[in-house]
Structures are given as structure tokens and as C-alpha cells.
């Protein structure tokens, strides 16, 4: 019996959703049906400032969401 392969994009998507629960995270699709940008929509204002964050790959989206989290903390602290 063979073990089915797991798409690395699915693993990255799940990891982002677990690590950033204040955002709805999804992968856009291009007009030709291929996977597009990675998108995070803010649902918890304590977790970010910008309502939408878009990146070309999962690693960059993670970097931007870490920055967003810091910006939210700074805005709460009045910085």
C-alpha cells in the first residue's frame, strides 16, 4: 500500500492558520486556475493593523503576519 503524498502548500496553509488564528488565510487562484498569491484577512484587530495582507509565497506571508502582530501590539501600547 502506498502512502499518498501531501501537498507542501497544504501543510504551509495549515501551519499559517494555526499560528495566526486572528486572520482568515487562504490561497488565491489565478485566472488560468493555477494557485496564486497567499492572502490573510484580519478578523481579530488585536492581531494586526492592515485588513488584508498579500504575499507571493507562504514564507513571506508568515514574515508579514509577524510584522502585523507587532504593529498591533505597538498600536495598543500607543507607540
Number of domains in the chain: 1
Closest CA to 69 of 27, 16, 20, 25: 20
Is a pLDDT exceeding 90 seen at residue 2? Answer: no
pLDDT for the residue 33: 95
- Does 4 reside within a domain? no
DSSP three-state, residue 33: coil
- Does 8 reside within a domain? no
pLDDT for the residue 38: 98
pLDDT for the residue 79: 58
12-71 per-position pLDDT tens digit = 999 999 999 999 999 999 999 999 999 999 999 999 999 999 999 999 999 999 999 999
- Does 2 reside within a domain? no
- Does 69 reside within a domain? yes
- Does 1 reside within a domain? no
- Does 53 reside within a domain? yes
Distances (CA, A) of 17 to 8, 60, 78: 14, 14, 28
Q: pLDDT tier at 3 (50, 70, 90 boundaries)?
A: confident
Amino acid at each position: 500500500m502506498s502512502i499518498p503524498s501531501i501537498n507542501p502548500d497544504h501543510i504551509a496553509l495549515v501551519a499559517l492558520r494555526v499560528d495566526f488564528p486572528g486572520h482568515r488565510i487562504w490561497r488565491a487562484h489565478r485566472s488560468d486556475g493555477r494557485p496564486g498569491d497567499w492572502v490573510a484577512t484580519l478578523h481579530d484587530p488585536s492581531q494586526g493593523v492592515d485588513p488584508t495582507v498579500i504575499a507571493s509565497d507562504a514564507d513571506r506571508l508568515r514574515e508579514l503576519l509577524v510584522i502585523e502582530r507587532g504593529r498591533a501590539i505597538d498600536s495598543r501600547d500607543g507607540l
